[in-house]
Structure 1
Amino acid sequence: MCGIVGIIDLEKTVNPDILLKMCQLISHRGPDDSGIFLENTSKFSIGLGSLRLSILDLSLAGHMPMKNRTGDIVLVYNGEIYNHNDLKVDLEKREYLYHSRTDTETLLYAYEEFGLDCFKKLNGMFALAIYDRINARVVLARDRMGIKPLYYFWNGKRLIFSSELKSLMTHPDIIRKLNPKALDLYLTFGYVPSPYCLIAGVKKLLPGHYMVLQEGILKDIPFWTPTLSIPNPDLRDDRQLSEQIRATLDGAVETQLMSDVPVGIMLSGGLDSTIIAAIASRKQLNSLHTFSVGFETGKSRMEEMYNWDSFYAKKVALKLKTQHHEVLIKDDSTLIQLLEKLLFALDEPVWEPSYLSIYAMSILAKEEGVKVLLSGDGSDELFGGYPWYLGATTLEKYERIPFLRQPLRLASSILPSSIFHKKVTDLYLKYRQPNYIKYLQNYSHFKPSSLAKLIPRATEGVSVVQEFLDLTLKPVKEAATADQFAFADLLLWVREHFNQRIDRMTMISSVEGRVPFQDNSIVDMALTIRVSRKFKGTEQKTLLREAYKDILPDFVLNRPKRPFAAPGKAWLEGILNEYALSQLNQSSFKGLGLFDGRAVESFAYPFLRGENSHYEENEPFISIWNLLALTIWLKQWNISS
Structure 2
Amino acid sequence: MCGINGIVFKNISLKNLNNNKVNEMNNKIKHRGPDDDGIFIDEACSLGMRRLSIIDIDNGKQPIFNEDKSKVIVFNGEIYNYKELMSSLKNKGHIFETNSDTEVILHAYEEYGSNCVEFLHGMFAIAIWDIKRKELFLARDRIGKKPLYYFNNSSKLIFGSELKSLMIHEEIKKEIDSDALENFLRFYYIPQPLSIIKDVHQLMPGHYLKYSIETNKIEINKYWDVSKERKTEIKNYDQIKKDLKIEMTNVVKERMISEVPLGAFLSGGIDSSIIVGLMSSISEDPINTFTIGYKNMKEYDESELARKVANLNKTNHTELFIDFNNLNDVIEEITNNMDEPFADSSAIPTYYVSNLTKNHATVALSGDGGDELFAGYNKYTSSYYQKYYSRLPFFLRKNIIENSLSLLPSDNRNSITSFGTKAKKIY
Q: Shorter chain as normaliser: what TM range?
A: over 0.9
Equivalent position of 2:220 in the other structure: 220
Alpha-carbon distance in 2 for matches of 1:52, 1:426: 45
Alpha-carbon distance in 2 for matches of 1:27, 1:421: 48
Which consecutive segments of 4 or more residues in structure 1 shift more than 6 A?
414-417
Q: Provide closer, same or farther for how the CA distance between residues 74 and 421 of structure 1 changes in structure 2, counting only shifts above 3 A.
A: same
Equivalent position of 1:343 in the other structure: 335
Alpha-carbon distance in 1 for matches of 2:226, 2:406: 41
Q: Provide closer, same or farther for how the CA distance between residues 39 and 415 of structure 1 changes in structure 2, counting only shifts above 3 A.
A: closer
Equivalent position of 2:273 in the other structure: 274
Structure 2 SS opposite 1:22: helix
1:13 aligns with 2:9: no
Q: Provide closer, same or farther for how the CA distance between residues 378 and 428 of structure 1 changes in structure 2, counting only shifts above 3 A.
A: closer
Instruction: Name the amino acid aligned to 1:423.
Output: F
Structure 2 SS opposite 1:389: helix
Structure 2 SS opposite 1:211: strand
Q: Provide closer, same or farther for how the CA distance between residues 232 and 247 of structure 1 changes in structure 2, counting only shifts above 3 A.
A: farther
Alpha-carbon distance in 2 for matches of 1:263, 1:415: 49
Match among 304, 311, 315 for residue 318 of structure 1: 311
Equivalent position of 2:374 in the other structure: 383
Alpha-carbon distance in 2 for matches of 1:305, 1:361: 19
- The alpha-carbon deviation at position 430 of structure 1 amounts to 3.5
| Alignment map for 1:563-574 (pairs within 5 Å) | none
- The alpha-carbon deviation at position 173 of structure 1 amounts to 1.1
Instruction: Name the amino acid aligned to 1:382.
Output: L
Structure 1 SS opposite 2:400: helix
Q: What's the TM-score once normalised by structure 1's chain length?
A: 0.62
User: Residues 414-446 of structure 1: CA distance to partner in whole angstroms, max 9, x if unpaired?
Assistant: 679853455357546734xxxxxxxxxxxxxxx
| Alignment map for 1:202-601 (pairs within 5 Å) | 202-214=200-212, 215-232=215-232, 236-296=235-295, 300=296, 303-307=297-301, 309-333=302-326, 335-368=327-360, 370-402=361-393, 404-405=396-397, 406-409=399-402, 411-412=404-405, 419-424=415-420, 427=423, 430-431=426-427
- The alpha-carbon deviation at position 105 of structure 1 amounts to 1.1
Give 5+ residue unaligned stretches, structure 2: none
Alpha-carbon distance in 2 for matches of 1:400, 1:195: 34
Alpha-carbon distance in 2 for matches of 1:75, 1:25: 20
> Is the contact made by 1:408 and 1:427 (CA closer than 8 Å) also made in structure 2?
no
Equivalent position of 1:191 in the other structure: 189
Identical amino acids, percent of aligned pairs: 38
- The alpha-carbon deviation at position 232 of structure 1 amounts to 4.4
Q: Provide closer, same or farther for how the CA distance between residues 415 and 24 of structure 1 changes in structure 2, counting only shifts above 3 A.
A: closer
Equivalent position of 2:32 in the other structure: 29
Structure 2 SS opposite 1:404: helix
> Is the contact made by 1:130 and 1:140 (CA closer than 8 Å) also made in structure 2?
yes
Structure 1 SS opposite 2:252: helix
User: Residues 191-214 of structure 1: CA distance to partner in whole angstroms, max 9, x if unpaired?
Assistant: 112111111111111111111111
> Is the contact made by 1:67 and 1:74 (CA closer than 8 Å) also made in structure 2?
yes
Alignment RMSD? 2.0
- The alpha-carbon deviation at position 92 of structure 1 amounts to 1.5
- The alpha-carbon deviation at position 348 of structure 1 amounts to 0.7
Write 1 or 2 for the structure with the bigger share of helix.
1
Match among 19, 37, 42 for residue 39 of structure 1: 42
Structure 2 SS opposite 1:305: coil
> Is the contact made by 2:382 and 2:426 (CA closer than 8 Å) also made in structure 1?
no
- The alpha-carbon deviation at position 97 of structure 1 amounts to 2.3
Alpha-carbon distance in 2 for matches of 1:54, 1:229: 40
Equivalent position of 1:148 in the other structure: 146
> Is the contact made by 1:34 and 1:51 (CA closer than 8 Å) also made in structure 2?
yes
Write 1 or 2 for the structure with the bigger share of strand.
2
Q: Provide closer, same or farther for how the CA distance between residues 398 and 183 of structure 1 changes in structure 2, counting only shifts above 3 A.
A: closer
Instruction: Name the amino acid aligned to 2:165.
Output: S
- The alpha-carbon deviation at position 336 of structure 1 amounts to 1.6
> Is the contact made by 1:128 and 1:142 (CA closer than 8 Å) also made in structure 2?
yes
- The alpha-carbon deviation at position 401 of structure 1 amounts to 4.2
Q: Paired residues, what number?
A: 417
Instruction: Name the amino acid aligned to 2:127.
Output: A
> Is the contact made by 1:291 and 1:326 (CA closer than 8 Å) also made in structure 2?
yes
Match among 125, 136, 139 for residue 137 of structure 2: 139
Alpha-carbon distance in 2 for matches of 1:415, 1:342: 36
Q: Provide closer, same or farther for how the CA distance between residues 170 and 390 of structure 1 changes in structure 2, counting only shifts above 3 A.
A: same
Structure 2 SS opposite 1:144: coil
User: Residues 514-550 of structure 1: CA distance to partner in whole angstroms, max 9, x if unpaired?
Assistant: xxxxxxxxxxxxxxxxxxxxxxxxxxxxxxxxxxxxx
Alpha-carbon distance in 2 for matches of 1:130, 1:225: 23
Alpha-carbon distance in 1 for matches of 2:190, 2:184: 5
- The alpha-carbon deviation at position 28 of structure 1 amounts to 1.6
> Is the contact made by 1:411 and 1:424 (CA closer than 8 Å) also made in structure 2?
no
Instruction: Name the amino acid aligned to 1:320.
Output: N
> Is the contact made by 1:76 and 1:128 (CA closer than 8 Å) also made in structure 2?
yes
> Is the contact made by 2:389 and 2:426 (CA closer than 8 Å) also made in structure 1?
no
Q: Provide closer, same or farther for how the CA distance between residues 130 and 423 of structure 1 changes in structure 2, counting only shifts above 3 A.
A: same
